[in-house]
Amino acid sequence: MKLDICSLGNAIVDIQFSITNEFEEELNNLGISKGSMTLVEQYQQDSMIIKLVKRHGKPLMACGGSVTNSIMAAANFGSKCHVACKVSNDEHGSFFLEDLTTNRIDHSVIATNSNLSTGRCLVMVSEDAERTMCTYLGISNELTKGDIDVKAIQASKYLFIEGYLVTSTSALEACHKAIKVAKKSNTKVVISLSAVFIADSFKTELQGLIDLGCDLLLCNESEAMAFTDEDDLEQAIKYLGQVSDQILITMGPEGCMGFRRQEVFFVKGLKVKAIDTNGAGDMFAGAVLHLLSEGESLEIAAKFGCFAASKKVENSGPRLPSKKYKKIKLEF
């Protein structure tokens, strides 16, 4: 079967609450900064969920993880997609796999019997639409080379890898294997820096992946500067231009900046009333990959990415209802 996009990422179930300023203060007391993504232990996450359910009722739940959110978007726009990830044989693992099937996403995941549970991300959206995330990786952190579907990579136009995977030795080895297969198969490689703490604390691991051959690097301004140790975005771009021929740097409501073989272009952001920024970057990546897989230029794909992301932030949750994706593409 021919595929457009094959992806590797952490399998995470998003558990989302809208929070008040009062709970923001509690997060500060726990050392969790507003707008950040923090890795936590299961007991810490469970404690916060219990408190939030008592105050705010049942949360929104969705099959998530950065790459999965992007692939969900690409698939709903019309791309044929595959996901390589790891879930446990538990309630959240079943929920995750059922969601992939519902969205017509190909996978070869077999739920694993383990003491570790399926990964979960507690997403807390504040009154100003900013999201703070506390993630328990669980069994997703044990992705291995054996979980990679070589044939899926060989059959794909693009391989998409999230930077979050570099925190795990076994997952990093899986990424190396996947990129080597892609390079032998003429499959283009797209890598996301994923988060500031990843770009800052795992530079060596990320650089190792990029050095294997990165056709497109995705990041935001803060990630770009953290990865390059630069305080100036222009200097960061000059450095990144030496490691990847093509780069897209998102700038929130301002849009994005693109770098293509020494040429720089800008895509202006759209003015919208943001309700929830959770998943905006993932939507951007999914929209970009979708149009690239259809043969569009990087600049057109970036414009579609910004347009799709602007529609995402007008809605709650990390993803949109399936029917809205088709409407977004028609409006673009």
pLDDT score for 146 = 94
pLDDT score for 233 = 86
Within a 10 A sphere around the Cβ of 316, how many other Cβ atoms? 15
Rounded percentage of the chain residues whose pLDDT exceeds 90:
71
pLDDT score for 263 = 87
Domains and their CATH numbers in the chain: 3-331 (3.40.1190.20)
pLDDT score for 23 = 77
Distance set, CA 41 to CA 17, 117, 121, 136, 324 (Å) = 19, 11, 11, 6, 35
Residue 30 has pLDDT above 80, yes or no: no
pLDDT score for 316 = 78
Q: Which residue has the higher pLDDT, 281 or 319?
A: 281
Among 16, 181, 168, 199, which Cα is nearest to 82's? 181
User: How many helices (DSSP H) and strands (DSSP E) are in the chain?
Assistant: 13, 14
Helices (H), 188-332: 196-201, 203-211, 221-228, 233-240, 280-293, 298-312, 322-331
Q: What is the mean pLDDT of the chain?
A: 92
Distance set, CA 22 to CA 126, 162, 238 (Å) = 10, 33, 42
Asked if 307 and 332 count as a contact pair (C-beta separation under 8 A), the reply is: yes
pLDDT band at residue 1, thresholds of 50, 70 and 90? confident
Residue 110 has pLDDT above 90, yes or no: no
Give the mean model confidence (pLDDT) for residues 152-179: 97
pLDDT score for 274 = 85
Q: Which of 152-156, 162-166, 272-276 has the lowest mean pLDDT?
A: 272-276
Residue 157 has pLDDT above 80, yes or no: yes
Residue 139 has pLDDT above 90, yes or no: yes
Give the mean model confidence (pLDDT) for residues 14-43: 83
pLDDT score for 4 = 98
Q: Which residue has the higher pLDDT, 62 or 287?
A: 287
Rounded percentage of the chain residues whose pLDDT exceeds 70:
100
Longest CA pairwise span in the chain (Å) = 53
Q: Which residues contact 117 (CB under 8 A, 6 or more apart)?
A: 42, 88, 90, 92, 93, 136, 138, 139
pLDDT score for 5 = 98
What is the chain's length?
Answer: 332
pLDDT band at residue 248, thresholds of 50, 70 and 90? very high
